Structure 1
């Protein structure tokens, strides 16, 4: 179990899929969403949560005022957990899409204000690079992309159209941010 940190669902416990999921720690989620709120990124935002796992990131965004969140996850058990978590949290605007992230991104884009990515730490670099290469089409100008990685992982290869910011490290986790041109 983990919990939603802030917003209308703050403090509510949500489930974690039984296997293969590493939810973002409460500490990292709190730091991330505090920074996003300070920048005015969350309120009324349209959010894309890739490698959604438990749905904690997308649901946290909805709890804090995002208008919609599309949560993309390939594991059907995790998708069921995400749907249950959105109900438990009492948030509106969550849409769960069962799909591999790369296959989802190859569709006609519906640009959003905020893209959250929490891929498995062992995701191959070439696979992650292919995902990142498609994100400029999915991110509105001035929108933000947030990538969570193991602190020991190399910096991501941001594609043209995404301007990287200084990474932020919290223990074993690094958050890489980039703004869409």
Structure 2
């Protein structure tokens, strides 16, 4: 399947800007019949934040990796590649989404690492050459009801023990009162940003 075509039973998500602008990537429908996607305003705001960090001289985007711990369709990581990141790392546990994402990434030909791993256990120590990283987390909304403390623990472990982390950005339904994070709300979505560099 070519990246520009839709999967049967799925919706296409369009890459907003950069080298791959306009490409459609498949968004497989979940067993509940939902096709999860990140609103355009969230996507733009996230990469505006990243661009601002680069302009401040905190890191070089072209020498850094974008790490998406709950990749889903992979739209955020693919957007990061389109915008110039050296590599994107995708973690996706659901088999159908993992297979779809792997196929799309292989055809795009951009440096990537896609893993069918549990983000609560495998969130660091990736075998990649990039020394600086930006982490992004957009877990399923149901996790905020039952797994908030587990998510917080993952973030703290990354912040304290993973070298070269420039920023951790967490998307959530409500602002997070976590140490070091600054929330920026957009309707029913919030980007919580912790800058470490």
TM-score, structure 1 as length reference: 0.83
**Residue of structure 1 equivalent to 2:26:** 15
Partner SS for 2:66: strand
1:140 aligns with 2:159: no
How far apart, in 2, do the equivalents of 1:149 and 1:85 lie?
A: 26
Q: How many residue pairs end up in the alignment?
A: 171
**Residue of structure 2 equivalent to 1:31:** 45
Q: Runs of 5+ in structure 1 lacking a partner?
A: none
Structure of higher CA gyration radius = 2
How far apart, in 2, do the equivalents of 1:173 and 1:145 lie?
A: 16
How far apart, in 1, do the equivalents of 2:172 and 2:67 lie?
A: 17
**Residue of structure 2 equivalent to 1:121:** 141
Distance 1:139 1:176, change over 3 A: farther
The correspondence for 2:84, drawn from 57, 65, 81, is 65
The correspondence for 1:96, drawn from 101, 114, 133, is 114
8 Å CA contact 2:175–2:185 kept in 1: the answer is no
Distance 1:18 1:12, change over 3 A: same
How far apart, in 1, do the equivalents of 2:191 and 2:93 lie?
A: 23
Distance 1:129 1:21, change over 3 A: farther
Distance 1:180 1:132, change over 3 A: same
The correspondence for 1:6, drawn from 8, 11, 17, is 17
8 Å CA contact 1:148–1:173 kept in 2: the answer is yes
How far apart, in 2, do the equivalents of 1:15 and 1:99 lie?
A: 20
8 Å CA contact 1:116–1:145 kept in 2: the answer is yes
TM-score, structure 2 as length reference: 0.77
Q: Tell me which stretches of 4 or more aligned residues in structure 1 moved more than 3 Å.
A: 107-112
